[in-house]
Amino acid sequence: MRMPAYPSPAVPAPSGAARACWIEAPGRAAIRTGTLGPLPEGQVQVRALHSGISRGTEALVFRGEVPQSEFERMRAPFQEGDFPAPVKYGYASVGRIEAGPPALLGRDVFCLHPHQTRYQVPSDAAHLLPDGLPPPRAVLAANMETAVNALWDAAPRLGDRVAVIGGGVVGLLVAWLAGRMPGCEVELVDLNPARAALAEQLGVGFATPDAARPDADLVLHASGHPAGLATALNLAAFEATVIELSWYGSRQVALPLGEAFHARRLQLKSSQVGHVATAQRARWSRGRRMALALALLRDPVLDALISASSPFDELPAVLARLAGPDAPDTLCHRIDYET
């Protein structure tokens, strides 16, 4: 007689404190210590290995520039507190499961969780890293997911001439993905000429705004600056589409919608990762989209997008530097945790 199958009991979570980074007031962050409770059924406990700073969004949050109308829509999945502060924010954590179902113990995962040394989340919120993806590179997963969604919204066609404005992490990932489409000619456009070498590594062209090639079939803007969006409109060909990826928080943006905007019948379209792109939504869940993003990160060329790292205890000072007026020219800044 066959015995009934029962799920294996979860391995209990080890005791210990959990330390997290909180924005205590606009322009000021600190590390707070708390204690995790018993592990709820259906959850796993993760010990953080690395996390990534989503520079554009986290700088806006750090400075207190989330508009009140967006307080709810801008909440991160496991955020604590409320905007503008105190708030625990972030969404690019990579860790190792240390408690939960035995089959998951020791597995490395990506989670849309704030910067924290240990945390508990539902099992389906811990996305297993595929073979061949090292944990330090996996901090790019949220950015890659944004880039994937942007290209779904943009729908490039074979042979398109594509301009990507802004050589930050999201812009570079968008350019890299578009450059892998057969026949597409991709040009990364950025004010910083040092991005040319990185564009070459990723297999795409490069130009500064004054030298960029006009008449692009498709333009994606990810610089975070209104001047970059004006450049995007200027480079778009007749009846081309401009995809806007930048989020400006509470800043007002003036655009040149006179001039040739109407005569060239341009389309300006927003893209945001909070929803799966319309064209894919009937078939793709967020989990399936994240699995794709993680699989795409297996290419070691993408290590070039992580340009700095710091230990967790330095995170409050790192956030202040990256959000300040003299911010360093950093791409992804990775935070490393004690192992």
Task: Based on the fold, state whether residues 272 and 307 are members of the same structural domain.
Answer: no
- Tens digits of residue pLDDT in 172-214: 999 999 999 999 999 999 999 999 999 999 999 999 999 999 9
Cα distances (Å, whole numbers) of residue 107 to 97, 110, 142: 6, 10, 19
Q: 111 is in which domain, residue-wise? A: 17-132+299-336
Task: Based on the fold, state whether residues 29 and 118 are members of the same structural domain.
Answer: yes
pLDDT of residue 247: 85
Ranges of the chain whose pLDDT falls below 70: 1-15
Q: Could you give the count of Cα atoms lying within 13 Å of 212 in the half-sphere of its Cβ?
A: 30
Q: Does any domain span residue 32?
A: yes
Task: Based on the fold, state whether residues 276 and 310 are members of the same structural domain.
Answer: no
Q: What is the CATH number of the domain that holds 208?
A: 3.40.50.720
The Cα 306–Cα 2 span in angstroms is 53
Buried b (16+ CB within 10 A) or exposed e, 293-313: bbebbeeeebeebbebbeebe
Q: Does any domain span residue 42?
A: yes
Task: Based on the fold, state whether residues 72 and 175 are members of the same structural domain.
Answer: no
The Cα 144–Cα 126 span in angstroms is 17
What is the reported pTM?
Answer: 0.93
Q: For the chain, what is the domain count?
A: 2
Q: Does any domain span residue 59?
A: yes
pLDDT of residue 13: 63
Q: Does any domain span residue 12?
A: no
pLDDT of residue 255: 87
Q: Does any domain span residue 150?
A: yes
Task: Based on the fold, state whether residues 229 and 188 are members of the same structural domain.
Answer: yes
Strand partners, 245: none
Task: Based on the fold, state whether residues 36 and 68 are members of the same structural domain.
Answer: yes
Q: Does any domain span residue 227?
A: yes
Non-local CB neighbours of 23 within 8 Å, separated by 6+ positions: 29, 61, 62, 84, 85, 86, 87, 88, 89, 319
